[in-house]
Structure 1
Amino acid sequence: MPSLFALHRIKLLSLLVISNLGLILHLSLGDVKSVAAWAWLDIAGEGGSAALVLIWICLLLKSRPAGRVTDLLFLGLACLFFSLWMDVTDEFVQMADSVRWDAWLESGPMPVGFVLLTFGIYHWHREQLAISAQMRNRERLYREHRQFDKLTPLGGAAYLKTQIELTIKQAEIDRQPLSLIMLDMDSFNMINRDFGQKEGDRVLQVVTQLVLLNLREHDLLCRLAGDRFVVVLPNTLESQAVIVATELSMAIAHLAYRTAGQGERLILSATTVAAMARQESAERLLERLNMTMARAKQTPLARSA
């Protein structure tokens, strides 16, 4: 079973249980129609629609992590499926004329589902815009394909150094401050050891997307090496960079991450340090950041260089 799909199996099982409870309710209070009374066109249309919605739900749960957007999309599709499923059930079971609740089960969830689905699509749209803005920015200003990191959609170490040199020169011309943030995942070797490198790679990919969502369009995120990242912040003072660094660390600490295999909750954390560029080379600036990071790993209060 696909890993993400397995994490959402409770959602799918709950939907199937509720849907079958509706079926059992109809069967217990109504009479099964004869085959001659079945409306095959309605059965095909409503049943086929229900099957397609169920496929959409499976694809959604297979491809997205847990979160508000996923929950809204799932609940919206779940309401649509339940409404269609009750419509199909009505083709096989004849209820008494005095019964009115079956009409509510057939029609009530449909508009609710569309409203939830609309909210979910809206938030998904905003999420994609934020990620796409970062991707467009790197395409337009920073990225060179030969220096592209294979695991994450980020530039690598060589590309980072080139861009730092260019950005330092531009900052001097514009007489604007330039700051950098270094982010290093804590206890990352333990994740690789206990859950495997594949899980470690997935952690890096998820953290990459999370950090991108918390940056401005003109900021640049690169993967320096392993589980260490660097953010280039044009027009940013060191005091402002320290605030951003703290926010990134808090965002990672509050991330509800679960492993792909067994769905175990992992408590992630990252150490962040910030520095403002001086009249120095990219090599010297990164060396200064690395030294500050080493001190911060030993003394958590050391966060700026």
Structure 2
Amino acid sequence: MNVNNLIARHRGTLIIPIVIANVILLANLASGDTKSWQELVWLDIAGEGGAALLALLWIVLILNSRPGGRVTRMLVAGLSGIFLSYWQDVMDEFIRLPDAIVWDHWLESGAMPVGMILLTLGIYHWHKEQQAISAQLIRRERIFREHRSLDNLTPLSGAHYLREQLKRELSRPDQPLALIMLDLHCFDHSRRLLGPSDSDRLLKELGELLLLNLRQQDLLCRYAGDRFAIVLPMTQQAEADRIACELQQAVRHFAFKTRRGESHFMTAQMGIAVAHDDDACSLIERANQRLPGATASWQAA
């Protein structure tokens, strides 16, 4: 977690509950008397104080893992209400307020249900977001639900999943099938030029770009290194050539922005194979061999 980036992106959102908590502290000190050491109930202090700190920690984690927006604001507002309710509970353990003061009871009893309602609304809309994202991933990538099928970097499915899907498609011999192997030209030079962090981010963003240029039934996998595989069901040679050309153009016009703000351009090489009495391994082999300059089979890790 980069604390400096978090504070820079969400300074206002983080400051609001902290400022309110300080106002509550000052109001308690101004209105009541501090309890003696013997009057303190440390179990209550630990429970209520721990709950307040956890609510504050959840706020930080949400802000660090989510973009800004309505759902994030609802989640933070809900957790802020819960935090402030527990915060006043902690104040009551240290400070005795006169019976005539009732705002502390309103704060304890009011902030909690309001916070729970806002948090519930935020979780509900977050759930709807995740449903939409999952539906898109299923349509665009046909991802296995087991995390072991995902590539750690991009994340796309890897070579093992590619072979499994090819076996499934090839089990229907009456339907045409094409495979494109896409290899980035001189990527080793780009990695030396960009450094490991930017070059990894380049592969991730390139995977997202390729997905946007594929059809719903197509499958994109990261085969190995800077090599991607695209499975094209119900596709003959001419259609595969057209899709490969479109992908090449998309990569050529992709201006990757480095962390220094510079633009870096790449080109891609394509190897296309249309299934003819192939198994998964032979189809992959033929597509790899048709990459420009290919002299040997590329073995996936």
Q: TM-score range by the shorter chain?
A: 0.5 to 0.7
Deviation at 1:230, TM superposition (A): 2.1
Partner of 1:21: 19
1:178-225 C-alpha deviation (Å, 9 max, x unpaired): 35373648988446534x214423543565477669877864433355
Partner of 2:53: 51
Cα distance between partner residues in 1 of 2:47 and 2:254: 48
Partner of 2:174: 174
- Deviates further, 103-112 or 84-93: 103-112
Largest Rg, 1 or 2: 2
Once the two structures are superposed, the pairs formed by residues 269-284 of structure 1 within 5 Å of their partners are: 277-278=273-274, 282=283, 283-284=285-286
1:36-84 C-alpha deviation (Å, 9 max, x unpaired): 498877655543223223333444566x4x547xx56643442233112
Question: Does residue 136 of the first structure (1) align with residue 144 of the second (2)?
Answer: yes
CA gap of 1:185–1:110, structure 2 versus 1, over 3 A, is: farther
Normalising by structure 2, report the TM-score. 0.58
CA gap of 1:112–1:186, structure 2 versus 1, over 3 A, is: farther
CA gap of 1:98–1:168, structure 2 versus 1, over 3 A, is: closer
Deviation at 1:273, TM superposition (A): 7.7
Question: Does residue 112 of the first structure (1) align with residue 145 of the second (2)?
Answer: no
Question: Does residue 124 of the first structure (1) align with residue 130 of the second (2)?
Answer: yes
Q: What SS does structure 2 have at the residue aligned with 1:135?
A: coil
CA gap of 1:258–1:124, structure 2 versus 1, over 3 A, is: farther
Deviation at 1:236, TM superposition (A): 3.5
Q: What SS does structure 2 have at the residue aligned with 1:117?
A: helix
Contact 2:48 2:87 in 1 (8 A): no
CA gap of 1:207–1:32, structure 2 versus 1, over 3 A, is: farther
CA gap of 1:187–1:178, structure 2 versus 1, over 3 A, is: closer
Once the two structures are superposed, the pairs formed by residues 78-227 of structure 1 within 5 Å of their partners are: 78-91=76-89, 92=91, 97=102, 108-128=114-134, 131=137, 134-136=142-144, 154-156=157-159, 173-178=173-178, 180=180, 182=182, 184=184, 189-190=189-190, 192-194=192-194, 196-205=195-204, 207-208=206-207, 219-227=218-226
Cα distance between partner residues in 2 of 1:50 and 1:185: 54
Cα distance between partner residues in 2 of 1:269 and 1:86: 50
- The amino acid that maps onto 1:123 is E
- The amino acid that maps onto 2:174 is D
Point out where structure 2 has 5 or more consecutive residues left out of the alignment. Answer: 277-281, 294-301
Cα distance between partner residues in 2 of 1:110 and 1:279: 57
CA gap of 1:165–1:123, structure 2 versus 1, over 3 A, is: closer
Partner of 1:294: none
Normalising by structure 1, report the TM-score. 0.57
CA gap of 1:199–1:212, structure 2 versus 1, over 3 A, is: same
Sequence identity percentage: 22
- The amino acid that maps onto 1:85 is F
Q: What SS does structure 1 have at the residue aligned with 2:231?
A: strand
CA gap of 1:32–1:58, structure 2 versus 1, over 3 A, is: same
User: What is the RMSD of the two structures over their aligned residues, measured on CA atoms?
Assistant: 5.4
Cα distance between partner residues in 2 of 1:254 and 1:102: 53
Contact 2:184 2:227 in 1 (8 A): yes
Point out where structure 1 has 5 or more consecutive residues left out of the alignment. Answer: 292-305
Cα distance between partner residues in 1 of 2:185 and 2:33: 65
- Deviates further, 130-139 or 173-182: 130-139
